[in-house]
Each structure stands twice: as structure tokens, then as C-alpha cells.
Amino acid sequence: FTRQEDICIDSTHKTCKSFLNDEDCYLFTIVAKNSSTNKGCSMEFMITNSETSETLSMWLEWLKKEVEFTPKTIMIDCSPIEINAIRVVFQESVRILLCHWHIKRAWDKKIKKDVKASTGTKDSMLLRSEAHADLNKLMHCENQDYFEVF
């Protein structure tokens, strides 16, 4: 592997139980693309019973110092905890990308909950479909000007 500038951070909940008590633990994984195979490969791991910005910041700071971890882009799951930790450690030098699948899942939950037509289920389904189509257009805008106009 060469120095990775574009990486993903993923958190897996309830990976195991703490040996100190019965708390759930979280597995944080940093994934980078192998330049030979063009496939993702896990590079760094952290298991913790504390899913907080402070804990994640400490880990990222340690990686930055000990292994000269200096990514340019980090993709995450739409987690405010992860966004805060990345900003604390790297300030604005790192571009944060939110995973499309997680964004769409959040949209789907919100649309199902809040988009309803007073005229019935069929009309509600049509409104939801239109909302999804409009949001997907925004997600795939090629530039900020088009996004602003839309």
C-alpha cells in the first residue's frame, strides 16, 4: 500500500461486550483502496466501549502522530460524532464525504414519516416518489450552481 489519501471510517455497533462490564463495544475500521487490486482493505482498527467524539478524536490524533495518518478525504456514515472528531483532529484540511446509502436511508425514513397526502395512500406514494426523485437530482448535481437553482 502507498500512502492513502482517500479512506473510509466505518463503525460497527455491538461488536462484542466489554470484559469490564456488560457494555456493548464498537469496532471502528479505517478502509483504504488497495492500488493493486482496486478493492477495499481494512487498514486500522479500534475497539471501544465509548462511541464519543472524544474517543474517536484520541484515536485519530494517535494515528496522525504515530503513523503520519494524513488523509485528504474521509467517507463516513452520516455520523455527527465522526464529523466532529475529524474536524477536531484535521480541521478543514480533510474533505468529509457522506455515504450515499446512509443518506438515502435517512431520507427514506423521513419521507415515510412526514410525506403524506390528505387524499389517500396512492397520492402519498406518488408524493414520496417525487420527493425521492427530487432529492436524488440534488445528490447528483454536477455543480453548485445547478444545486442552487434546483
User: pLDDT at position 93, please?
Assistant: 93
User: pLDDT at position 2, please?
Assistant: 46
DSSP string of 104-138?
A: HHHHHHHHHHH---TT-HHHHHHHHHHHHHHHHHH
User: pLDDT at position 38, please?
Assistant: 84
User: pLDDT at position 3, please?
Assistant: 57
Q: What is the C-alpha separation between 134 and 102, in angstroms, rounded? A: 17
pLDDT tens for the chain, 150 residues long, are 345 789 999 998 878 887 778 888 999 999 998 878 888 889 999 999 888 999 999 999 999 999 999 999 999 988 999 999 999 999 999 999 998 898 999 999 999 999 999 998 999 999 999 999 999 988 888 888 878 877
Architecture of the CATH domain 6-98: 2-Layer Sandwich (3.30)
Q: Where are the domains of the chain?
A: 6-98, 100-149
Alpha carbons within 13 angstroms on the beta-carbon side of residue 88 total 17
